[in-house]
Amino acid sequence: MKKVLVIDDEAIVRTSCERALTPEGYEVKAVSSGKEGVELLQKESFALVLLDLKMPDMDGIEVLNKINETWPDTKVVMITGYSTVETAVQALRLGAYNFIEKPFTPDTLLAAVTEVFEKTNQGGAEDRDIKRDSGNP
Amino acid sequence: MRNLFNFRNPEKSIATKLIIAIGLLISIVSLIFWYAILQKQKMDVMSIAVKYGGSFVNFTKESIHHSLLTSQRDETQRVLETLATPEGVRRVRIYDHKGKILFCSHKKSVGQIIDKATVACKGCHVDPGKSSELLQNPQRWSVYRENSGPTLLKIVGPIPNEPDCYTASCHVHSREQGILGFVEADVSLALLDEAVFKQGLALTAYVIVFVFAVSAFLGIIIYKIVSRPVSELVDGMAQVAGGNLDASVSIKSGDEMGVLAQTFNSMIRDLKAARDQREKWTQTLEAEVAKKTEEIQRTHANLMQTEKLASLGRMAAGVAHEINNPLTGVVTFAHLLKKRFPSDSTEAEDLNVIIEQAERCSKIIKNLLTFARATPSEKGKVSINDVLSRTIFMVQNQEKFHHIKFNINLEDYQFIILGDPSQFQQIFLNMFINAADAMNGRGNIFVSTRKTTESGKPYVEIEFTDEGCGIKEEDMPKLFEPFFTTKPVGKGTGLGLSVSHGIVKHLGGHIKVKSVVGKGTTFFVRLPLAEEAR
Ligand SMILES: Nc1ncnc2c1ncn2[C@@H]1O[C@H](COP(=O)(O)OP(=O)(O)OP(=O)(O)O)[C@@H](O)[C@H]1O
Ligand SMILES: [Mg+2]
């Protein structure tokens, strides 16, 4: 299963991601804060995290650092507003896989997500995910 | 003359002192002359009188010569009486060597002895008592006066012995006798007195008139060459002391006073020049201070304005960011919905409109964020023509540019420059907004790009021409200064060109301006092309 976690404080963004990705065969879970996201990541593993840069409680960059440290196999795609391009660039340097700008179309999102799975999850990563998946329930 | 005598302390004024001194001198000299002339005249008159007296004595001697010789005593007496007149000859008499009067016009005194203390004896003898001793220079006349009467001249003439006398039959005189007797005449000098007196009067009058005339003349001269210039100078100095530096002394004479006045005038001129200079300095200083104060106030106002704008920009950025979230929803769901309908259905078309409009919203937000300068710079390959077209497109949709026609002539070439597209957009936007402001929102804007070379390196030249009000010559040097603006507060911050200039310079380019007031302005922005793009 291609598991995607969406962390965004905006409900509409979360829903948009769910609705855009689910029909394409992705298992999407969404939380509204970085804290919740980290908690959920501790419980189950995700191949991809769609992470909003700007959030009230925990900054996107912080969450990114935490994910990189704790779950190095989990890829992160940042969601940014136009005004935070530089932060997005910084995020890329810090280990984010890619970024997409808001507002995005379902196709752009899908393209970005598909790219992640196609390029990196062809081999062991997915397997490992599955193993961990199966080991955890 | 008022100044001459009323001038401050009259008794101390130079003029008064000079006049008194000179007047005194003239008076003394005149007095001496007056006296000398008078004396001389008297002496002259006297010598004439003596001469005539002598002639009269001789005449008397001639007249009585015969009667004496013939011893006609009565005849002699008669002649003498005839000769005497009250106005002229008061008395004429003959006396012998012993002083006994022999004949006299006053018959009664015949036989009397004359007063020996008079010139009758003293004329020749040292001592009338000893008849032998004679004076070396006998003066046989004298002048005297009988109380309140006229001046009288007493003149004595000796009657010498002669052969006819001592040979005469009467034998009265011996041959040895030297002098037989004397003729003495008392002549009245009343007429001469009067003449001398009159002359004295006239002379006195002359002297007085002379003294006065000379004094007056001197007074005037002194007044003219000393007092008046001095008082004018003093007046001038008083005026200068009182602060009036327009004063001048109008003494044109070539003497020391004139030189003094000229020196004084030039001194005032120098003073005035110095004061004017100082006043000018003060004024310029004040003006400078006022200008600087205004500048500071303006800068302050502009800073406040910029601050406001900046916070407005931040707010706009925040708002834009927030709007992006709902827009994401709109776009996503529209797309999702669209997928449920066949692509040629009306529903799909309607949804396309929704998507397009949502995307337009997103574009507007991007431009808003660019303009709010909230976008930090990122360097990349930028195509100038693309950014220009995009900016023009964006600007054309704004109300401000509704009545402006864009005439675009871009050279078909990929002008690639390493930089931040939003910064170029910022430069171009400011050019267009400035042009629109200068044209009051109506007219043509000409935009063109062309390739040029500068010192062997390829450049792109972007030309912005408008038909606006133009830029005043005096504003030209200030154009690129931060906060220089001619626009009302709130409309222009005066940062546009200065920021543009900063960006262009940073990239190794430059901006040039040509402007004709009332006709329009052209800005040339030149940027060096990136290495790879060549
Ligand atoms: N095309 C033009 N025609 C006439 N005057 C111009 C033109 N461009 C600039 N100026 C003059 O130069 C001044 C400075 O322009 P600049 O763009 O630096 O500041 P601004 O437009 O006043 O304010 P801002 O751009 O910060 O909103 C303007 O106020 C205007 O007087
Ligand atoms: Mg401007």
Q: Are B432 and B391 in contact (CB under 8 A)?
A: yes
Question: pLDDT: is A129 or B246 the higher one?
Answer: B246
With cut-offs at 50, 70 and 90, classify the pLDDT of residue B307: low
Predicted confidence at residue B242, as pLDDT, reads: 85
Distance (Å) of CA B236 to CA B78, B180, B241, B256, B262 = 90, 91, 8, 17, 12
Q: Is the CB of B429 under 6 A from ligand 1?
A: no
Predicted confidence at residue B371, as pLDDT, reads: 52
Non-local (6+) Cβ contacts of B56 within 8 A are: B89, B155, B185, B187
Domains along the sequence of chain A with CATH: 2-135 (3.40.50.2300)
Q: Residue B6 corresponds to which tokens in the numbers above? A: 């009323």
With cut-offs at 50, 70 and 90, classify the pLDDT of residue B181: confident
Predicted confidence at residue B436, as pLDDT, reads: 93
The answer, yes or no, to whether residue B1 has pLDDT greater than 60, is no
With cut-offs at 50, 70 and 90, classify the pLDDT of residue B159: confident
Question: pLDDT: is B248 or A4 the higher one?
Answer: A4
Q: What is the DSSP string of B411-430?
A: -SS--EEEE-HHHHHHHHHH
With cut-offs at 50, 70 and 90, classify the pLDDT of residue B11: low
State the best of A79, A83, A105, A108 to mutate against chain B, taking most chain B CBs within 10 Å. A83
Question: Rounded distance, CA A72 to CA A66, Å?
Answer: 9
Looking at residues B385-409, what average pLDDT do you find?
88
Predicted confidence at residue A133, as pLDDT, reads: 36
Coarse DSSP helix, strand, coil percentages of chain A, rounded to the nearest 5 percent:
55, 20, 25
pLDDT, tens digit (0-9, with 9 covering 90-100), for B268-278: 888 888 888 88
A16 touches chain B (CB under 8 A): yes
Domains along the sequence of chain B with CATH: 57-189 (3.30.450.20), 379-533 (3.30.565.10)
The answer, yes or no, to whether residue B238 has pLDDT greater than 80, is yes
With cut-offs at 50, 70 and 90, classify the pLDDT of residue B367: low
With cut-offs at 50, 70 and 90, classify the pLDDT of residue B523: very high
Question: Measured between CB atoms, which of B317, B335, B375 is closest to A85?
Answer: B375
Predicted confidence at residue A102, as pLDDT, reads: 84
Tell me how far the alpha carbon of residue B465 lies from the centroid of ligand 1, in angstroms. Answer: 14
Tell me how far the alpha carbon of residue B466 lies from the centroid of ligand 2, in angstroms. Answer: 14
The answer, yes or no, to whether residue B5 has pLDDT greater than 50, is no
Predicted confidence at residue B155, as pLDDT, reads: 87
For a ligand 1 pocket test, name from B299, B434, B495 the mutation site with the most ligand atoms within 8 angstroms of its C-beta.
B434
pLDDT, tens digit (0-9, with 9 covering 90-100), for B114-126: 887 777 777 777 7
CB count in 10 Å sphere of residue B399 = 7
Question: Rounded distance, CA B408 to CA B12, Å?
Answer: 96
**For the whole model, what pTM was predicted?**
0.38
Question: Rounded distance, CA B496 to CA B431, Å?
Answer: 8
Question: pLDDT: is B8 or B369 the higher one?
Answer: B369
CA distance B371 to chain A (A): 11
With cut-offs at 50, 70 and 90, classify the pLDDT of residue B533: very low
The answer, yes or no, to whether residue B434 has pLDDT greater than 90, is yes
Question: Rounded distance, CA B523 to CA B461, Å?
Answer: 10
Question: Rounded distance, CA B294 to CA A78, Å?
Answer: 50
Question: Rounded distance, CA B185 to CA B93, Å?
Answer: 6
Share of chain B above pLDDT 90, in %: 19
Question: Measured between CB atoms, which of A86, A102, A107 is closest to B324?
Answer: A102
Predicted confidence at residue B370, as pLDDT, reads: 56
With cut-offs at 50, 70 and 90, classify the pLDDT of residue A6: very high
Predicted confidence at residue B317, as pLDDT, reads: 66
Residue B519 has phi, psi (to 5 degrees) of -110, -45
Predicted confidence at residue B490, as pLDDT, reads: 55
CA distance B327 to chain A (A): 6
Question: Measured between CB atoms, which of A16, A86, A89 is closest to B332?
Answer: A16
Q: Residue A82 corresponds to which tokens in the numbers above? A: 């136009």
Closest-CA residue in chain A for B325? Answer: A13
Looking at residues B327-352, what average pLDDT do you find?
91
Q: Residue B163 corresponds to which tokens in the numbers above? A: 């052969």
With cut-offs at 50, 70 and 90, classify the pLDDT of residue A82: low
Question: Rounded distance, CA B335 to CA B45, Å?
Answer: 161
Closest-CA residue in chain A for B316? Answer: A83
Q: Which residues pair with A19 in a beta bridge?
A: none
The answer, yes or no, to whether residue A137 has pLDDT greater than 80, is no
The atom of ligand 1 lying closest to the CA of B494 is 19
The answer, yes or no, to whether residue B88 has pLDDT greater than 90, is no
The answer, yes or no, to whether residue B320 has pLDDT greater than 90, is no
Predicted confidence at residue B132, as pLDDT, reads: 62
B317 touches chain A (CB under 8 A): yes
Tell me how far the alpha carbon of residue B493 lies from the centroid of ligand 1, in angstroms. Answer: 9
Looking at residues B188-194, what average pLDDT do you find?
82
Looking at residues B411-432, what average pLDDT do you find?
87
Predicted confidence at residue B24, as pLDDT, reads: 86
Q: Is the CB of B419 under 6 A from ligand 1?
A: no
Cβ of A105 and B326 within 8 Å?
no
CB count in 10 Å sphere of residue A38 = 18
Predicted confidence at residue A136, as pLDDT, reads: 37
A chain contacts of residue B378, beta-carbon cutoff 8 Å: 85-86, 89
For tokens 């303009």, what's the residue? Answer: B371
The answer, yes or no, to whether residue A112 has pLDDT greater than 70, is yes
pLDDT, tens digit (0-9, with 9 covering 90-100), for B142-153: 888 877 778 888
Looking at residues B400-419, what average pLDDT do you find?
92
The answer, yes or no, to whether residue B13 has pLDDT greater than 50, is yes
Closest-CA residue in chain A for B364? Answer: A82
Question: pLDDT: is B367 or A135 the higher one?
Answer: B367
Write the ipTM: 0.76
Which of A122-126, B184-188, B220-224 is predicted with the least confidence, judged by mean pLDDT? A122-126
pLDDT, tens digit (0-9, with 9 covering 90-100), for B445-482: 999 999 999 988 999 999 999 999 999 999 998 898 87
Predicted confidence at residue B470, as pLDDT, reads: 95
The answer, yes or no, to whether residue A130 has pLDDT greater than 50, is no
A82 touches chain B (CB under 8 A): yes
Tell me how far the alpha carbon of residue B421 lies from the centroid of ligand 2, in angstroms. Answer: 18
Question: pLDDT: is B515 or B231 the higher one?
Answer: B515
Question: Rounded distance, CA B481 to CA A37, Å?
Answer: 51
- Backbone CA torsion sign across B468, B472, B477, B478: negative
